[in-house]
Amino acid sequence: MAIISVINGPNLNMLGTREPGIYGAQTLADIEKSLTQLAEQHGHELRFFQSNAEHDLVNRVQQSKQHGVAIILLNPAAFTHTSVALRDAILASDTPFIELHLSNVHARESFRQHSYFSDIAKGVICGFGPKSYELALLATLPLIENTPRD
Ligand code: DQA
């Protein structure tokens, strides 16, 4: 049993109504529900978090070790392209993470093609809509096998 932390950045609370042609029709609550079930099926505990505020995301990442988090699934949303503070928090937390995006950021505007996270992530998953979350969770399984819980 391991603790998997899912951390979502700004505007992801608007999923369902936000540009559904790009981000799909599922809400963040829908994604949380199916991902929690998937984690439970594999014997792990999911902790799901979203904030529009950079400092709340930084605080959440900083708490990872103290909360016994084995791995983070991180969708930094717009902070992907701007936030040195969140990158530094991830590095300071010394917790492995997978970067994920609903949309294929490489097929969009040029400013979305730079990420402050990709070079320090275990891996990056993007472009599969809400399925990106499931794929990211499945990708963590071999990484967290036999992870002791604090
Ligand atoms: C996103 C992609 C980002 O460029 C964008 O700012 C988001 C969502 C995605 O999941 O596709 O808010 O991270």
> Into which CATH architecture does domain 3-145 fall?
3-Layer(aba) Sandwich (3.40)
pLDDT band at 145 (very low <50, low <70, confident <90, very high): confident
Ligand 1: list residues with CB < 6 Å. Answer: 11, 75, 77-78, 80, 101-103, 105, 112
H-helix or E-strand spanning residue 98: strand 97-101
**pLDDT tens digits along 75-129:** 999 999 999 999 999 999 999 999 999 999 999 999 999 999 999 999 999 999 9
pLDDT single digits (tens) 3-55: 999 999 999 999 999 999 999 999 999 999 999 999 999 999 999 999 999 99
- CA–CA distance, 126 with 108 (Å, rounded to integer): 12
Domain boundaries, the chain: 3-145
Kindly give the number of the ligand 1 atom that is closest to the alpha carbon of 104: 11
Q: So what's the pLDDT on residue 146? A: 61
| pTM confidence score | 0.95
